[in-house]
Every structure is written in structure tokens, then in C-alpha cells.
Amino acid sequence: MREIFIYDHVRTPRGRGKPDGGLHEATPVELVRQLMVALKTRGNLPDDCLDEAVLGTVSAAGEQGATLSRIAPILAGFTDRAAGLHINRACASALEAVSILGAKIGCGMVELAMAGGVESMSRIPMGADGGGPHGIDPRVSSHTPFVMQGVSADLLATLNGYSRADLDAYALASHQRAAAAWANGWFAGAVVPVTDVLGEVLLDRDEHIRADASLEALTALKPAFAELGKSMGFDSLAMQRYPQVDRIEHVHTAATSSGIVDGAGLMLLGSAEVGARLGLRPRARIRSFITVGSEPALMLDGPTPACQRALAAAGLTAADIELWELNEAFAAVPLRLMDTMNIPHERMNVNGGAIAMGHPLGASGVMIAGTLLDEMERRGLGLGMVSLCAAGGMGIAMVLERVN
């Protein structure tokens, strides 16, 4: 199998996923187009060099569906030879897009490609694609009970003994780290300001971060999922699935859950041969990648087995990984991975995460992979792991090795 290289990556800032958010005016395809233009310009890429684009989106409906991944490269100035693929592996979609193209590059089917994702949550809200059978088909949910993610997060916390204080402390650190990263300019190399049709900047920085967050403010918030858990029966379903739990401790709040935002991210991937031909400098190689299934009602514990299998495939142990990046879907998720893999917080999400900056569902995987790579370069580290949990009970993980 050929080596798989990462040549570059970019992302938009994350805008609040509301009509008054900074990116609401920009369509999903426009977010992707601007990132493709940025990669094309930064790499001085020829118009006819791109073989394929794979994009992840969770709510692939309306203007955010169908041919987006096919049309965006053409709008960005590439020729029409680049094929497009639009995928949905829930929150793992963008990193799965990288994995798909990594496999094609490794097998010799693709030379140069772009992988990533987009989610405009202010324009296409969650559930706009209908929700799928797990939540709406009684025959499915009677076999595998559907538990909304917020209650699943509280179940994960309950099973592992994470207190409200544990979650609040983690969330505060996420905001503080993200604010410090922006203040120090550590995202500057990756973030592409988004402009409108007149060229005026719509947004040039993540707008979900609360630099003034305090523990007092976090502890004053009410649990976000207690009422839904009780009134909609999700608590009862969760306890039926996990009878060792006699009650769900509702400990997650809006502040310890990932923010709803708009955003897109892209990564330029290719073989060694195409890089040499086009004069591209490889920044990292992909050592391994894996996607696993986990129990659907709990659904948020997939990162541990995914990381374990990705390490085994790369011939590594957790102690070999110098920096970790995990999507902060809910605060209990990184706490669980740190516990099971014996990861100190000083190596996990060192520049904050989705709790502070937000989680544009289909784009987050490639965004955090890029954040990991940038920080590995800044610190001069060699090995990093990126991982996400995904709705329906899945986990994804990828090992990156920096190229000097």
C-alpha cells in the first residue's frame, strides 16, 4: 500500500448556527467553494489536478444535499474531471471522507483529492433530512431503543460516575484553551475568512467561544436534558437497556454540550508521486484509520475501541501518542476516553474543542484533524490521534505522523 500524505488543510471560522450568526448568509456550497479556492491558491494547483472530492454532511437536504461535492470543485476553478461523493457517517463524516480518499490513494486509484465536510446548521437544521428509521420507525426502535444524544451523554456520565462539577470544569478549560489559542494566533494558518458576494468579510474567527466564561456562570445553568428524558420516556428506555442504573443523573447543560454552528473544513491529500510532481510539501502521513460500531442507545463510547484498533493497526500503543484530539460532543465523551486510554488532560484538546467553538456536524472531523496537525507542528511532535463518536453508536479514529 502506498503512503498517504496530507499536504494542506483549511477551515472556515465557526459561526453561530442561528439566523443572526456570522455565516448564515453563506450557502453550504459557497463555504466549500471558498475553501477549495484557498487550497488551490496556497498550493498553486493546476486546474486539472484534482481527481476527486469527498464531503461529509449530516443533514444532506435541500441546498446542502445531492451534488454539492461534485459542483463545488467546478465552482472553485477546477476542471470537470474531479468526481464528487457526498457521505453521511453522522458526526464522523468528515474524517470518514479523509479515510475513504486515504484508502483510494493507498490503493493507487487516486493521486490528489480533497476531503472534508460542511454543515450549515442555521440554514439546514438538524433533522431536515427526515431523521432516519432509528428514531421514527417503531419496528426499529423496539429492537434497538432510540435515546436522544443528550440523554445518552447523561447515561454515559452516570455509568462512569462523572459529576456535574467534573463536566463544568472540563467545559471551562475548553473555553479558556480556545480563547488562548485565538489570542496567540494558533488558528491563523488554517482559518479562511468567509466573504460575501461583494468580497466583504462575513466572519473571520470562531464566534461561539466565551472568553469570559467562569465556573460560577457554568454551575448556575440548569440541566439541558432532564425534562426531555422524563417527558419523552428516554430515561426509561436508557434504564431498560442498562438495568444497573436506577436513575439517570442529568448532569449535562448547554455549556457542557457542543455548540450548534455553521462551518466547513477541507484537507488536501495525495500520493508521494503527485506531491513531487506538483512541488507540494507533505505535512503528515496517515498511519492508520478505523471506524467501529458501538451500542446504539449509549452511542457515545465508540472512540475508545476505535482508538485501540487504530493503534494496533499502526503498531503503536497509547503511550506513543503525543497529542490527542477528540470531538467534544458532550463533556463526558473526552472524560471517558481520557480514563480508558490513560490520557492526561495536558495532551487532550489542548486548544479547546467543540464545547467552546461548536460542532458543525459534517465538518468537525476534518477540522479537528487539522487542529491536531497544526499543534503537532507547533510543538515539534511526531504522533497524534484524532477521534470522534458518532450518532447511532459509532466511533472513528486516525493516527497521524508528522513529516519533517
Handedness of CA 295, 297, 301, 302 (dihedral sign): positive
Catalytic, 91? Answer: yes
- Asked if residues 325 and 384 have their Cβ atoms less than 8 Å apart, the reply is yes
3-state class of 359 per DSSP? coil
Closest to 398 measured CA to CA, from 257, 267, 228: 267
Catalytic, 359? Answer: yes
3-state class of 269 per DSSP? strand
340 burial level (CB within 10 Å; 0-12, 13-18, 19+): middle
Catalytic residue among 9, 24, 134, 389: 389
Catalytic residue among 91, 208, 252, 307: 91
- Asked if residues 338 and 344 have their Cβ atoms less than 8 Å apart, the reply is yes
**What CA–CA distance (Å, rounded) separates 342 from 364?**
24
Give the DSSP H or E segment for 28: helix 28-42
**What CA–CA distance (Å, rounded) separates 170 from 154?**
15
Catalytic residue among 9, 175, 252, 359: 359
Query: If you count DSSP H runs as helices and E runs as strands, how many of each does the chain have, helices first?
Result: 15, 12
**What CA–CA distance (Å, rounded) separates 159 from 226?**
16
- Tell me the C-alpha to C-alpha distance, in Å, between residue 361 and each of 17, 60, 338, 364: 11, 11, 22, 6
As annotated, the active-site residues are: 91, 359, 389
